[in-house]
Amino acid sequence: MDEKLKELKETMGTLTDLGHASSLLSWDQETYMPPGGVESRGRALATLGKMAQEIGTDEKVGKLLEELGPWAAEQDPDSDDARLIIVSQRAYDKAVKVPPDMVAERAMLTTMANAAWREAREKSDYSIFEPHMEKIIEFNQRYADLFKPYEHAYDVLLDDYEPKMKTEDVKKIFADIRPKQVELIEKIANAKQVDDSVLFKHYPKAEQIAMGEEIAKLIGYDFNRGRQDEVHHPFQTTIGYGDQRITYRVDENFFNTYIFSIMHEGGHAMYEQGVPKSLSRTALYGGTSLAVHESQSRMWENLVGRSLPFWEFYYPKLQARFPEQTKGVSMEDFYKAVNKVEPSYIRVEADEATYNLHIMLRLEIEIGLLEGTIAVKDLPQVWDDKFEEYLGIRPRNNAEGVLQDVHWSFGLFGYFSTYALGNLVSLQLWEKINEDIPGLDDQMRSGEFGKLLGWLNENVHAHGSKFYPQDLVQRITGSKINGDAYIKYLNKKFGDIYGL
């Protein structure tokens, strides 16, 4: 079986290399590619995608997996090789249902759609993006149909990002936490509001970027294996082992935009940097799901970056870097400012208490679009109406409304719910971390984050994508994904800040 396993790994290595080449082209598309290169970039991505699909669904791969399956069943079920075969078999079974030409079609479609989205967002004109959105919805409907029968078409899309999670599972979790979050938000609305004017001073771009690099290094992001670049919508991407890149957006007149995106994307990158080299060029390399991935980014962004211990350590450094902007503002008041709870238009800048409502809104809209109960032409109106229903405010234009997120332009349906699920997982992990690392708050007050990152490396990152997300979370915390720890955290944190 050694030769067959070696042959499988060589094929998986080729697929990984093609995927990383596509990631590099996509990263360049978002950072440095001139606008005139859109069509040719789309064709290049389409070619790479089609090649990978043809190689990955070749009958030889299916035969290898069929022959290796019985052998894997006799191995340690947690071993890398046994899990590689199990995970690869599942991926193969899904991939063979998708024609290579359809993979190429998606790459070309989304490349053009992304270019249209950029222009539409800049001009706050949905009509520019609408015809592309029509094609993306139609494509996702055809894609879901390849996997019939299913309980719900949305299950197919969700499974691509959160393996084995069902739409009903997510709905039940959201139905449990939504009224609890709404109750907390209503209590905060009746309390004395926090003054966050310090965040809206002028913070020069160059100084912000220098600060972000300092903080990213402090928490453990390795710039020898990464870099940061400016984009329209922040993201993290892995180009290969030892190359995990982060991106950012800067607002010189709002402090939160840059710093928390750097900590968020840094969290994603540190997950990837923590996956062992032994798993590189295999189907086990990278994070196990987007919810687990988001648990890492939201943990560093919020549980560290918006924590009192972090600012007890870092605020003097911030004052030294921005003395005029922070003049007369105490550390306690600054901490409260970065944690102000108030319904806002932009998801990536939302506070912790309201953030999940942004996700629940998107889930409802995505399901409606896929089912055909929401028409693409009506999307701006539907968005604004539901936004007002969920958050009590109405977007003033399309740029801060339906066009604010890049995801739909890339065809990423089924993706958004993983952000909220990641919030929940982050707190489940956080409770376990605090059991295992006594005095974690004191370490953060001293600017020491090595033990925290080391725990994550050992308990989360080291497994790559060996285990399905629900199984991994249960292995670590003793329970599957749920909102109990998250709601307890929100009530304690904002109860203290707002004196509830």
Evaluate if residue 282 carries a pLDDT over 80.
yes
Could you tell me which residues are beta bridge partners of residue 248? 230
For residue 238, what pLDDT band results from cuts at 50, 70 and 90?
Answer: very high
Q: What is the average pLDDT value for the chain, to the nearest integer? A: 96
- The reported pLDDT for the residue numbered 2 is 86
Does domain 167-498 sit in CATH 3.30.750.200? Answer: no
Evaluate if residue 382 carries a pLDDT over 90.
yes
The candidate with the shortest Cα–Cα distance to 274, out of 80, 421, 452, is 452
Average pLDDT over residues 396-401: 96
- Per-domain boundaries in the chain: 2-149, 167-498
Length of the chain measured in residues: 500
Known catalytic residues?
Answer: 265
Average pLDDT over residues 222-243: 96
Rg (CA), the chain: 23
- The reported pLDDT for the residue numbered 233 is 87
For 16, the enclosing helix (H) or strand (E) is helix 2-31
DSSP, collapsed to helix, strand or coil, labels residue 192 as coil
For residue 348, what pLDDT band results from cuts at 50, 70 and 90?
Answer: confident
Percentage with pLDDT > 90 across the chain: 99
- The reported pLDDT for the residue numbered 139 is 97
Tokens of 101: 């030409």
Percentage with pLDDT > 70 across the chain: 100
Reported as a single tens digit per residue, the pLDDT across 86-102 is 999 999 999 999 999 99
- The reported pLDDT for the residue numbered 232 is 87
Task: Record the pTM.
Answer: 0.94
DSSP state of 217: H
Reported as a single tens digit per residue, the pLDDT across 175-203 is 999 999 999 999 999 999 999 999 999 99
Strands 243-248 and 236-240: antiparallel
Average pLDDT over residues 46-64: 96
Reported as a single tens digit per residue, the pLDDT across 248-281 is 999 999 999 999 999 999 999 999 999 999 999 9
The pairs formed by 440-447 with CB atoms below 8 angstroms and a separation of 24 or more are 441/307, 441/309, 442/309, 444/304, 444/307, 444/309, 444/310, 444/313, 445/309, 445/312, 445/313, 446/313, 447/218, 447/313, 447/314
Average pLDDT over residues 447-457: 98
CA distances for 106 relative to 115, 118, 283, 435, angstroms: 14, 18, 22, 45
Evaluate if residue 468 carries a pLDDT over 90.
yes
